[in-house]
Chain A
Amino acid sequence: MPALECRGLKKELPSGAHTLAILAGIDLAIEAGEFVAILGPSGSGKTTLLGLLAGLDRPSAGEVWLEGRRIDALSEDALARLRRGRVGFVFQSFQLLGNLTALENVLLPLELVGVAGARARSVELLGEVGLGDRLDHYPAQLSGGEQQRVALARAFASEPSVLFADEPTGNLDAETGARVLLLLDALRARRQVTLVLVTHDPEVAARADRRVHLRAGKIERIEFGRETARA
């Protein structure tokens, strides 16, 4: 059974008197533990696809299955509960809560699930991403790279089975981006987490087990195997 699967996935948005097809029927199955990169030029529908696969948005047509459960028709409450503990996210603009410290940002998903020893685990995770000495700093007091590392710790805190990443290095300089990417890959590999990553950067995509190229809302081609030489 695939960890994540979509069948005939479509997304249309109203545009004046017409509708605009963002995704025009996507079929994709992603196995557990697999690292899949979604590539494509701007407007190709890659972020929309990520949102639909993660249950953040509703498709116009088609089905989405997460670990054997169909999620596209679930209620907002059911989707929220599903995300707790099973799905993690990393975003281009970090999306940390500004009025929470680094530690509290990591702690929040654990508190939501009600995990015992949440604080110790958050401290350990922040140590793992190299921010053991920045626990009580607020996001505004951290650099971009540090903020993204807090976001990584938060994403892995509740030990999700699937992780969605939207341009995780997009707001970082090349060097910091590469370090964050290395960290993400290492954490993923250590925890055997399925990773779906959206990027327009071939360097980032080269680390993936599979690269799905989108163009105009359709899968243009799929490439398999890590391109170690490019990485």
Chain B
Amino acid sequence: MRFALLFRAAQRESRGARGRLAFFTACLALGSFAVVGVSGLARSVRAAIAAQSKELLGGDVWIRAREPLADELVAALDAEPDSERCEVRLVQTMARATASGQSRLVELKAVGAGFPYHGALVLEPPGTLDARLDDGAVAVASELAAGLGLCVGDELALGVARFRVAALVLDEPGRLDPTFTSGPRVFSTLAGFHSMQLEGVGSRITYGALLALPPSAGPAAEWADTLSERVPMGEARIDSHEEAQPQVQRAARQVERYLGLVALLSLILGGVGVAEIVRAWIGTRVASIGVLRVLGFTPREVLWMYAGHVLALATVGSALGSLLGSFLPLCVPRFLPELLPRGLTLGWQPLSILRGIGLGTLVAVAFSLPALAAVWRVPPVRVLRHEAEPLPAKRALTLAALGALIGSVFVAAWVQSEELGLAAGFTGLVAALLGVLALGARGLTRLARWLPRERLPASLAHGIAALARPGAGVLGAVVALGLGTLVVVTLLLVETRLSARLTSALPPGGASLFFLDLQPDQRAEFERVLAAEGAQDVRIVPLASGRLTRINGLSAEAQALVHGEGRGRWALTREQRLTWQQELGPDNHLVAGELWSDPQHLELSLEQDYAEDIGALLGSPLTLEFSGLPIEFVVTSLRQVEWESFGINFFIVAEPGALDAAPHSLLAAANVAPEREQRVQDALVAACPNVTVIRVRSILEKVSYVLSRSALAVELLGAFTVAVGLVLLAGVASLGALRRVREVALWKVLGVTRGGVARLFALEFALLGGVAGLLGALGASALAWAFFEHVLEFDSDVPWWTAPLAGLVAATLAALCGLAACAHALHTRPIESLRS
């Protein structure tokens, strides 16, 4: 058949399709809005970072290491013609307002002249860092000033030195929201940093160099690659501005991947909705299809005609949602500014619209195919006999429709996640969930058919009977609404339980404060301050850093070839922190060997998973190097550690006294009542200014806050799935409008008032919604329980009232939506429908 005729026929079929178009749009627009919104946001963040990368980094190249940069590297940088270099030191330390004595953990950045080379800090009073800073002055973030009650000109103690606050930092390009950092920023000069005397043994300082390259140097990434090939970098890592904001870029990729799949779920439910609408619509077109067949249309031509119509409606529906979704990146910075680095401006992402339209139409057409395949079976003789047997189903067509359905979900998941394994897993999970819900729907229909209704009140009997009626749309409504409920309830359960766990009291005996960088000669003063402030369970352990050089007689490099993945690689190539002690804490359990049992060798006890990662066994010889001095040990015990106890624990523990002579610092922990934490911190920072205090509660609160904000985004997307489910329910109710109108007329003729009829319908929809919600919530409880038990290994009970409550909410929403969709039928006069 010529395309023009096919197009004309599909176009004519569109007449009077306003209602259908509305439901297509409602079903697909929500899903495509979510898909385009998520993809557009992630793309927008990446594009903005790429466009503003130099400003975000402050230079062209950033080199950093946990130790001073190697002399060879510094010499090579000195020899670079025309490039500018600014030395940087980064460290987390305590800042104390000398006037009030209040202290706070800050992220100190000591910089040389010229910082930053690109972009600009916004200071108050206005000016550059070079102009404002001297060796006795610092610039502090405005939130630190607010927190400690500081003004410009006030005094701030950092380490053993005192500084004048010369300026407030109002804006720092590339800086993340304080929620995502350890503390507010403080800028100092390099000389000022040295005067703080923070560079003790075990201190965690990042030594860096920020470079501005001349235009002749070419692309910064290539320049960086050439440098790292030419010069031994040692521990140092080098990043060009193109790799700026790695955490944000990684987060954007994760958002695109995982939230993209949650968004896809809404679109898939939209597909289920479209399938239901198409099924109901084709049901009303059987007579017309019979006439078309009589006039000489082949089954294939009729199928194309209706598929063309579905394609057109799907394109319009998803285009509308996609267009709206493409504006999401412009709204996010306004409503959730803390999610993005400062100074990042997001742009409109028109290209994402194509993704939304593409996926929307793919899902809609694929999900419609099984329903559309019914047109193939309409026999032409139906124009003569209504009860004519349908033509035999075409097996190839049925299989192709099923294949297209599964294939489309897989392709869409692949497009969204860009990962084959994840796409396959998602497809499998969706198929399994839809399958379980479909079984539930079928069970419900059977139950409704089987249930004796004679003794039930009339309205309840009618509601149950309606569920058993052929074409009641139970399958689609239960699957869509059930899956929507499942997604939302699972997310809510996981988030609330996890948050509760994070913000609840610390485990008994767990430490609430950790103290880093304590030097051995400060121990007595430290113990005095803590005793005076009433700290409990004070525990102090020595801490040394060593590098693993040989395991089982093999060099660490050789071992890394075998165990070079993940933690194994980290352990074999980076400095390891370890302690030495006589007895293990109660949160350590020996699983093999015996502690300090070999008088012939120096002994080590390893955490069992760590031992596996580095390829060490009980009895393995192991060499650690401390400041260039190798010391040989033998592994004599393996331990299991309860990390969630919040105690001081190490992967490597040496026998007592083994490393007393090695350069080391002390690590301490204590349990302090929440209301006394600030006092203890302030007193300690005054007495031992180089010590960094980590407050576990505030970290847990931050993690909980970040978790709740991230969960909010997922839950909002999840809510889309429920919305699609409700739209679907309303769509099914509305498509049966003709039947409803007749029913209403009959009920009214029999003497039932309009309110009475509304109650009958409300009960029918409420039953449908209630069962869908109940099934969804039961599934969600099972998923959440499995997640806690097997992934997080928490004991977490799911509240018993989850499923009934979800069922009740879903029932109410379903009743409201169903009634709204039947409003027209309720208002039609009985005589109008009976006459027709």
Measured between beta carbons, the chain B residues less than 8 angstroms from A113 are 296
Name A113-127 residues within 8 Å CB distance of B.
113-114
B22–chain A nearest beta-carbon distance, Å: 17
A29 located at the interface, meaning its Cβ lies under 8 Å from any Cβ of chain B in the complex = no
A91 CA to B9 CA, complexed, in Å = 22
The interface-forming segment of B32-40, B274-282, B379-387 is B379-387
* Interface residue? A182 (CB, 8 A): no
Asked if A20 CB lies within 8 Å of chain B CBs, one says no
Contacts of A142 in B (CB 8 A): none
Q: Which residue of chain A has the shortest Cβ distance to B302 in the bound complex?
A: A80
Chain A residues within 8 Å of B523, by CB: none
Query: Is there a chain B Cβ closer than 8 Å to A168's Cβ?
Result: no
Q: What is the CA–CA distance of A57 and B379 in the complex, to the nearest angstrom?
A: 8
Using known A-B contacts A77-B300, A85-B296, A95-B294, determine if residue A100 contacts B12 with beta carbons closer than 8 Å: yes
Contacts of A53-74 to chain B: CB distance below 8 A? 56-57
Inside 8 A of B299's CB, which chain A residues have their CB?
76-77, 80
CB of B13 within 8 A of CB of A99, answer yes
* Interface positions of B from 285 to 310, Cβ below 8 Å from A: 287-288, 290-301
B2: interface (CB < 8 Å): yes
Asked if B384 and A83 sit within 8 Å, CB to CB, the answer is no
B296–A83 CB distance below 8 A: yes
Name the CB-closest residue of B to A47: B384
Contacting chain B: which of A104-112, A129-137, A201-209? A104-112
Cα distance A79–B296 when bound, in Å? Answer: 8
For the complex, is B835 an interface residue (Cβ under 8 Å from A)? no
Tell me which residues across on chain A come within 8 A of B294, comparing CB atoms.
56, 83, 89, 95
A98 interface residue per 8 A CB criterion = yes
Residues from chain A with a CB closer than 8 A to the CB of B296 are 80-85, 109, 112-113
**Contact, CB under 8 Å: B298 / A77:** yes
Residues on A with C-beta less than 8 A from B383 are 56, 89, 91, 95
- Other-chain contact of A57, B295, B297, B388 (Cβ < 8 Å): B388
| A164 shortest CB reach to chain B, Å | 9
Q: How far is the CA of A96 from the CA of B299 in the complex (A)?
A: 19
Interface size on B, residues (CB 8 A): 32
Nearest-neighbour CB distance to chain B for A92, whole angstroms, equals: 9
Q: Contact at B384–A56, with CB atoms within 8 Å?
A: yes
Contact of A47 among B292, B380, B385 (CB under 8 A): B385
Q: Is the CB of B293 within 8 A of A80?
A: yes
Of the residues A48, A81, A95, A109, contact of B298 by C-beta under 8 Å: A81
Bound-state CA distance A48–B388 (Å) is 10
Q: Is A34 at the interface (CB under 8 A from chain B)?
A: no
List, in ascending order, chain B residues with CB within 8 A of A112's CB. Answer: 1, 5, 295-297
Whether, in the assembled complex, A172 has its beta carbon less than 8 Å from a beta carbon of chain B, the answer is: no
Per-residue interface assignment for chain B, residues 484 to 501, with 1 indicating a CB less than 8 Å from any chain A CB and 0 otherwise: 000000000000000000
Residues of A within 8 A of B288 (CB): 97-99
- Measured in the bound complex, the distance between the Cα atoms of B330 and A181 in whole Å is 69
A51 at the interface (CB under 8 A from B): yes
Tell me, yes or no, whether A166 is within 8 Å of chain B by CB: yes
Q: In the complex the two chains form, what is the Cα distance from A96 to B292 in whole Å?
A: 10
Task: Give A47 to B383 CA distance when docked, in angstroms.
Answer: 11
**In the complex, which of the residues A13, A76, A83 contacts B295, with contact meaning CB atoms closer than 8 Å?**
A83
Contact of B391 among A48, A76, A98 (CB under 8 A): A76
Which residues of the partner chain B approach A109 to less than 8 Å between Cβ atoms?
295-296
CA distance A84 to B287 in the complex (A): 19
Give Cα A76 to B290, complex, Å. 13
Produce 1/0 per residue, B4-19, CB < 8 A to A.
Answer: 0100110011011000
Tell me whether A50 is interfacial, beta carbon within 8 Å.
yes
Q: Is B381's CB under 8 angstroms from A51's CB?
A: yes
Nearest residue (CB) in B for A87 is B296
CB contacts (< 8 Å) of B301 on chain A: these are 80
**Cβ–Cβ < 8 Å partners of B5 in chain A:** 111-112
B292 surroundings in chain A (CB, below 8 A)? 97
- By beta carbon, the residue of chain B nearest A76 is B299
The reply to whether B391 and A97 form a contact with Cβ atoms under 8 Å apart is no
Find out whether the CB atom of B12 lies under 8 angstroms from the CB atom of A99. yes
Residue of A80, A81, A166 with highest tally of chain B CB at under 10 A:
A80
Q: Which residue of B lies closest to A82 (CB)?
A: B296
Question: Could you tell me how many residues of chain A have their Cβ less than 8 Å away from some Cβ of chain B?
Answer: 32
Q: A91: which B residues are within 8 A, CB to CB? A: 383-384
Give Cα distance in the complex from A169 to B385, angstroms: 17
Contact B16 A99 (CB under 8 A): yes
Q: Which residues of A contact B16 (CB under 8 A)?
A: 99
For B380, the chain A residues whose CB sits under 8 A away are 56-57, 79-80, 83
Give chain B nearest CB distance to A97 CB in angstroms. 5
A114 touches B2 (CB 8 A): yes
Most chain B C-beta atoms within 10 Å of own C-beta, residue among A81, A82, A111, A166:
A111
CA distance A99 to B285 in the complex (A): 11
Q: Report chain B residues within 8 Å CB of A83.
A: 294-296, 380
Find out whether the CB atom of A97 lies under 8 angstroms from the CB atom of B384.
no
Q: Does the CB pair B388–A104 fall under 8 Å?
A: no
A76 to B294, alpha carbons, bound, how many Å? Answer: 11
Q: CA–CA, A33 to B299, complex, Å?
A: 31
Closest to B388 in A: A57
Q: In the complex, what residue of chain A is closest to B297 when comparing beta carbons?
A: A80
B 709-732 contacts with A by CB, 8 A: none
Q: Which residue of B lies closest to A93 (CB)?
A: B383
CB-based contact B287/A95 at 8 Å? yes
User: From residue A9, how far is it (CB to closest CB) to chain B in Å?
Assistant: 14
Question: Which residues of chain A are within 8 angstroms of B293 by Cβ–Cβ distance?
Answer: 80
Query: Once the chains are docked, how many angstroms separate the CA of A22 from the CA of B292?
Result: 26
Chain A residues with Cβ below 8 Å from B384 are: 47-48, 50-51, 56-57, 91, 166
Chain A 164-200 interface 0/1 with B at a Cβ cutoff of 8 Å (1 = within)? 0010000000000000000000000000000000000
CA distance A79 to B295 in the complex (A): 11
Which chain B residue has the least Cβ–Cβ distance from A14? B389
Q: Which of A51, A77, A84, A108 contacts B385 (CB 8 A)?
A: A51
- Expressed in whole angstroms, the minimum distance between the Cβ of B310 and any Cβ of chain A is 16
Of B1, B12, B298, B388, which one neighbours A76 at CB under 8 angstroms?
Answer: B298
A57 touches B381 (CB 8 A): yes
Q: In the bound complex, how far is the Cα of B9 from the Cα of A83, in angstroms?
A: 18
- Inter-subunit contact B381/A108 (CB<8 Å): no
Inside 8 A of A48's CB, which chain B residues have their CB? Answer: 384-385
Contacts of A13 in B (CB 8 A): 389
Residues of chain A lying within 8 A (CB to CB) of residue B15: 99
Q: Are A56 and B291 CB-contacts (below 8 A) given A91-B384, A100-B12?
A: no
Nearest CB of A to B303, in Å? 12
- Taking the closest CB of chain A, its distance from the CB of B513, in whole angstroms, is 76
The chain B residue sitting closest to A85, CB to CB, is: B296
A56-B297 Cα distance, complex, nearest whole Å: 12
Residue of B nearest to A77 (CB): B298
Within 8 A of A (CB), among B400-445: none
Chain A proximity of B389: nearest CB distance (Å): 8
Shortest CB-to-CB span from A189 to chain B, Å, is 24
- Set of chain A residues within 8 Å of B13, measured between Cβ atoms: 99
Q: Please give, as numbers and ranges, the residues of chain B lying within 8 Å of A57 by CB-CB distance.
A: 379-381, 384, 388
* B381 neighbours in A (Cβ, 8 Å): 51, 56-57
How far is it, in angstroms, between the C-alpha of A48 and the C-alpha of B381 when the chains are bound? 9
Cα-based distance from A212 to B191 in the complex (angstroms): 117
Would you give the shortest CB distance from A75 to chain B, in whole angstroms?
9
Give CA–CA (A99, B298) in the complex, Å. 20
Q: Please give 7 more A-B residue pairs, beta carbons under 8 A apart, in addition to A50-B384, A95-B291.
A: A48-B384, A56-B380, A56-B384, A80-B299, A80-B301, A82-B296, A100-B12
Q: List 28 A-B contacts (CB under 8 A).
A: A13-B389, A51-B381, A51-B385, A76-B391, A80-B293, A80-B297, A80-B299, A80-B380, A83-B380, A84-B295, A84-B296, A85-B296, A89-B294, A91-B383, A95-B287, A97-B12, A97-B288, A97-B292, A99-B13, A99-B16, A99-B288, A100-B12, A108-B9, A111-B5, A112-B1, A112-B295, A112-B297, A114-B2
- Leading 4 A-B pairs by shortest Cβ distance: A84-B296, A57-B381, A56-B381, A80-B298
Name B's A-contacting residues (CB within 8 A): 1-2, 5, 8-9, 12-13, 15-16, 287-288, 290-301, 379-381, 383-385, 388-389, 391
